[in-house]
């Protein structure tokens, strides 16, 4: 074995050992080699955003259209393959491609479960590839239950064995007894508190009877960004509002502004929301509809006017997305003050003072001179001795 091959094996072994040391290790996507870049994704997400590149980019309900995008940066030969749960492959495209982006639409159909997409591109012996998965489900469900087991695995995602205690949303009528919940490195919200003996609340896509490795039973997939498994006692949605002068945190006041200042407002949500708004209460009341928001921090700016002078209470309210009534809602409040702009001293008030001072100096000089001249004249009129 050559020294170069031995070094390569050592590097691979080190990367594997680092990845195995934590089930949250990030493995960067490698789709560009030998000067060729191959990329593939769907209308619900790109595996560039996932913790592991071969993870699940989203769930699709039966009958929903799945749009698969793929691109190359050079003219090449390419092949796009879809693998079903039974191991059979369907070639969606095979042939030559010009550099650019393409798409292929398929309909989500039975059987439910994961589909693996593999995209390969090559020029001669130079080759690049990209792979990810998506999941076909019957419908979306929400329920509570006791965590009987939590099985984190490297490469295959995390599994939770849940004993259902309360059904909150179930168009399928199948959520009962023991349900296996699977997270395959998607953008779903996965709480670290979903441990054994915890009570959790779950929102995901119902796969049905399924087998993954040694786990077999009724499965739910956490595939979409809005899906989650969280501790049942934890808040499903947390929001925050603050300004560029403070107030970040729950119900924290912030700073003071003057008319004419620019006010920047920041508002954040812990997950996607279907509706949100900002309510300003002060010298007058004003509501701003901020609407649907993605998870993260958002902002807006305004210029403060003279009519804004006074104390303000600012409340941000949001309702969680893709849920049945009552919608989980959260709000946060901050306060700020707008004062009158400090006016610089007018020049008209400065120059008269200077003028008065100068006049006094002239007057004093005139008096002194006049007295001296008066004395001189008096001396001149007196007779000589």
Report the distance separating Cα 369 and Cα 314, nearest Å: 70
| CA distances (Å), origin 289, targets 77, 229, 279, 308, 350 | 49, 29, 9, 19, 49
Based on the domain organization, do 71 and 118 belong to the same domain?
A: yes
| Residue 7 belongs to some domain of the structure | no
Question: Which residue has tokens 């590097």?
Answer: 11
Based on the domain organization, do 207 and 268 belong to the same domain?
A: no
Based on the domain organization, do 192 and 269 belong to the same domain?
A: no
**Domain hosting residue 199, numbered range:** 139-231
Report the distance separating Cα 235 and Cα 233, nearest Å: 7
- φ, ψ (nearest 5 deg) of residue 43: -70, -10
Predicted local confidence at residue 351, as pLDDT:
43
| Residue 356 belongs to some domain of the structure | no
3: left (phi over 0), alpha (psi -120 to 50) or beta: alpha
293 touches 278 (CB < 8 A): no
Domain boundary among 231, 251, 283: 231
Predicted local confidence at residue 92, as pLDDT:
96
Report the distance separating Cα 49 and Cα 202, nearest Å: 22
| Residue 382 belongs to some domain of the structure | no
Based on the domain organization, do 28 and 130 belong to the same domain?
A: yes
C-alpha radius of gyration, the chain, whole number: 36
| Residue 247 belongs to some domain of the structure | yes
The CATH number for 198's domain is: 2.40.50.140
Based on the domain organization, do 247 and 335 belong to the same domain?
A: yes
Based on the domain organization, do 123 and 39 belong to the same domain?
A: yes
pTM for this model (two decimals): 0.57
The CA-based angle 213-214-216, given to 5 degrees, is 95
First to last CA, the chain: 136
Predicted local confidence at residue 326, as pLDDT:
58
Predicted local confidence at residue 239, as pLDDT:
87
As to burial, measured by CB atoms within 10 angstroms (0-12 exposed, 13-18 middle, 19+ buried), residue 50 is buried
**Structural domains of the chain, count:** 3
Question: Mind listing the pLDDT tens digit of every residue in the chain (385 residues)?
Answer: 444 443 443 333 333 333 333 332 333 344 444 578 999 999 998 888 888 888 999 999 999 999 999 999 999 999 999 999 999 999 999 999 999 999 999 999 999 999 999 999 999 999 999 999 999 999 999 999 999 999 888 778 899 999 999 898 999 999 999 999 999 999 898 876 567 778 899 999 999 998 877 678 999 999 998 899 988 766 667 888 988 887 766 556 667 898 899 999 999 887 788 889 999 999 999 899 988 898 788 999 989 999 999 999 999 999 876 544 556 788 889 888 999 887 665 554 444 444 434 444 444 444 444 444 444 444 443 433 3
Residue range 163-177, pLDDT digits in tens: 999 898 999 999 999
Predicted local confidence at residue 23, as pLDDT:
30
| Residue 167 belongs to some domain of the structure | yes
Based on the domain organization, do 126 and 26 belong to the same domain?
A: yes
Report the distance separating Cα 301 and Cα 167, nearest Å: 43
203 touches 181 (CB < 8 A): no
Identify the CA nearest to 266 among candidates 228, 293, 286, 284: 293
The CATH number for 306's domain is: 2.60.40.1930
| Residue 85 belongs to some domain of the structure | yes
Based on the domain organization, do 114 and 163 belong to the same domain?
A: no
CA dihedral of residues 136, 142, 145, 150 (deg, nearest 10): 40
Based on the domain organization, do 123 and 174 belong to the same domain?
A: no
Based on the domain organization, do 144 and 194 belong to the same domain?
A: yes
Predicted local confidence at residue 51, as pLDDT:
80
Identify the CA nearest to 196 among candidates 232, 149, 143, 144: 149
| CA distances (Å), origin 182, targets 151, 210, 261 | 10, 11, 50
The CATH number for 92's domain is: 2.60.40
Based on the domain organization, do 128 and 105 belong to the same domain?
A: yes
Domain boundary among 177, 202, 231: 231
| Residue 12 belongs to some domain of the structure | no
Domain boundary among 84, 115, 134: 134
Based on the domain organization, do 246 and 301 belong to the same domain?
A: yes
Predicted local confidence at residue 82, as pLDDT:
96
| Residue 160 belongs to some domain of the structure | yes
> Which residues have a Cβ under 8 Å from the Cβ of 267 and sit 6 or more positions away?
239, 240, 241, 276, 278, 290, 297, 298, 299, 316
Beta bridge partners of 76: 97
Predicted local confidence at residue 194, as pLDDT:
62
Dig out the tokens for 68 from the structure: 């698969």
Report the distance separating Cα 184 and Cα 157, nearest Å: 4
């Amino acid at each position: 074995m050559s020294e170069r091959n031995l070094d390569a094996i050592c590097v691979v072994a080190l990367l594997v050992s680092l990845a195995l040391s934590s089930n949250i290790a990030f493995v960067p996507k490698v789709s560009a080699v030998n000067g060729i870049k191959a990329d593939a994704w769907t209308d619900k997400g790109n595996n560039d955003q996932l913790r592991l590149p071969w993870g699940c980019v989203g769930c699709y309900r039966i009958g929903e259209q799945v749009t698969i995008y793929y691109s190359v940066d050079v003219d090449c030969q390419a092949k796009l393959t879809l693998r079903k749960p039974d191991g059979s492959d369907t070639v969606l495209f095979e042939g030559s491609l010009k550099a650019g982006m393409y798409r292929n639409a398929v309909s989500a159909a039975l059987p439910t479960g994961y589909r693996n997409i593999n995209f390969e591109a090559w020029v001669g012996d130079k080759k690049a590839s990209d792979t990810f998965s998506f999941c076909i489900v019957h419908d979306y469900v929400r329920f509570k239950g006791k965590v009987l087991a939590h099985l984190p695995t490297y490469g295959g995602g995390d599994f939770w064995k849940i004993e259902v205690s309360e059904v909150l949303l179930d168009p399928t009528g199948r959520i009962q007894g023991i349900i296996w919940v699977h997270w395959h490195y998607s953008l779903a919200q996965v709480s670290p508190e979903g441990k054994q003996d915890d009570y959790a609340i779950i929102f995901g896509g119902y796969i049905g009877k399924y087998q993954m490795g040694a786990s077999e039973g009724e499965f739910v997939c956490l595939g979409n960004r809005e899906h989650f498994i969280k501790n049942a006692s934890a808040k499903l949605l947390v929001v925050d509002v603050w300004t560029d002068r403070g107030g970040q945190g729950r119900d924290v006041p912030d700073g003071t502004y003057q008319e004419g200042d620019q006010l920047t407002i920041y508002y954040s949500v812990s997950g996607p929301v279907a509706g949100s708004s900002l309510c300003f209460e002060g010298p007058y009341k004003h509501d701003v509809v901020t609407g649907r928001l993605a998870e993260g921090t958002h902002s807006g700016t305004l210029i403060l006017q003279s009519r804004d002078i006074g104390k303000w209470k600012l409340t941000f309210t949001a309702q969680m997305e893709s849920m049945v009534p009552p919608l989980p809602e959260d709000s946060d409040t901050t306060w700020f003050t707008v004062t009158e702009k400090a006016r610089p001293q007018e020049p008209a008030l400065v120059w008269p003072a200077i003028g008065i001072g100068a006049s006094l100096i002239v007057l004093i000089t005139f008096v002194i001179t006049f007295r001296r001249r008066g004395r001189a004249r008096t001396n001149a009129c007196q007779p000589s001795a």
